[in-house]
Amino acid sequence: MAHCSGSWFLSLLILLLGLSVQTSQSRITIENGVKSSVFLSPKFVLEPGSVANKYYYGIDFPRGHIAIKSFNAEVVDEAGNPIPLHETYLHHWLAMRYYQPKSVEIPKYNDGLGCKLFNQSDFNFSRNAGLCDCDGPTQYFGLGSETRRTATYVPDPYGIEVGNPAEIPAGYEEKWLMNVHAIDTRGVEDRLGCAECWCDLYNVTEDENGRPLKPGFTGGAICCYDQAQCRVREGFESPKRGLYMRYTVKWVDWNNFIVPVKIYIFDVTDTWKKLDDGVIGHNCPVEYDVDACTATDEANDGCIDTKRVSLSMPTGGNVIYSVAHQHAGGIGLTLYGEDGRVICHSTPTYGEGKEAGNEAGYIVGMSTCYPQPGSVKISDGETLVLESNYSSAKRHTGVMGLFYVLVADKVPQPNPFLPALVEEHEKMTLPRSVWGIAFFGAAIAVAAAVAFRRKSEREEGYQSI
């Protein structure tokens, strides 16, 4: 085969680019120094009323020692069209990091491999820095119905460090796991009921392992496990279809000017207690129920269900980014410091139409907090208070109150290139301002929280699915 002069250099360049990602089907784009790739999960198939709760191991992901700048995902069909929530409800998606022995191969899909099995095997599960024990929210990334309209960008000069060779055990390789929990609600008798996993709609009295449900348990993820079936209207028919999680990762190569951040996920259901050996155990059920309010409740507080928990932050630092996660009916979460100051107040945006990203009655975005660097700090051992508010005009099952907080414990080094990078970041994130509004300053956030509690459902834009 004949070669043109210099073709060896071109071939080498192509080879090096190919090694940056795990699949040739994904193309790397670079904008303002930030690399980006779009990947697809393995296909999952749904029909009206059916559920997919899949775990995919070794998903495609950027390789090398990098700083992740953002990670987001959405459900699409085989043609790449975004699927609206009123057709396929995205209960949640999660991305988790783990170390796998190089000598071991596992299938791309295996619904039995979870956090406990990782701990009992040769796999090392790399969890976030949060407080919850193994069964709680230990993922690096994860959202739900709000995923399309929630900003996830980590501002400069910060990044989420992964792929550090010094952290990978000898004989292991770093890999990523994705969990996708999606419910097909086409033609179902009750969209809200199917989305909230009401056990009677799924005709479920036992969990997926055959264990009877606890007395009084009426709804939650236990009742909408993989391949469960929610009740569909008699006579309704619609074909099965193949779907994917299309996820976008943005990153930069690691360098000494990047400041690493730790990911904390706080759970309002955390029932922590001190164990006999002095260790603090953080049992995080993740889900909880909201009972419908009474006439007296409505007269007193406008049918607002409030749940709070106090948590001790083991290691503090500067807050770089915060966002909450709630389900339909949610009206916001607030994270308070020990002195009552507002660290972040995150509220939902409800859709008003039918198109993907604006579905009426669904949370389609959550506001985010991007404090000025150094302006919001958490001290070592500081006691934080997390408050979750839901509308209780009607009963809700299996709701969540999670708070993602990125914290940096190092001071950025002077970087002559930083002003340009920050300016570009502001340009990139400006269009998202209509979706994620950062609440800066304790006075503003407190005023917003008080006013928020007085609003009616109509004012919030919340309506029944």
> Is the CB of residue 170 less than 8 Å from the CB of residue 321?
no
Provide the 3-class DSSP secondary structure of residue 199: helix
> Can you give the pLDDT at residue 458?
38
> Is the CB of residue 327 less than 8 Å from the CB of residue 378?
no
The rounded distance, in Å, linking the Cα atoms of 258 and 120 is 35
Q: What is the dihedral of CA 86, 91, 94, 100, to 10 degrees?
A: -110
Residues 325-365 have pLDDT tens digits of 999 999 999 999 999 999 999 999 999 999 999 999 999 99
Tell me, what amino acid is at 383? T
Provide the 3-class DSSP secondary structure of residue 12: helix
| pTM score | 0.83
- Which sequence spans correspond to the domains of the chain? 27-460
> Can you give the pLDDT at residue 373?
86
Over residues 317-328, the mean pLDDT reads 98
Pairing relation of β-strands 262-267 and 124-126?
A: unpaired
Mean pLDDT for the chain overall: 84
- Among the listed residues 334, 402, 343, 408, the one whose alpha carbon sits nearest the alpha carbon of residue 132: 402
Residues 153-169 have pLDDT tens digits of 999 999 999 999 999 99
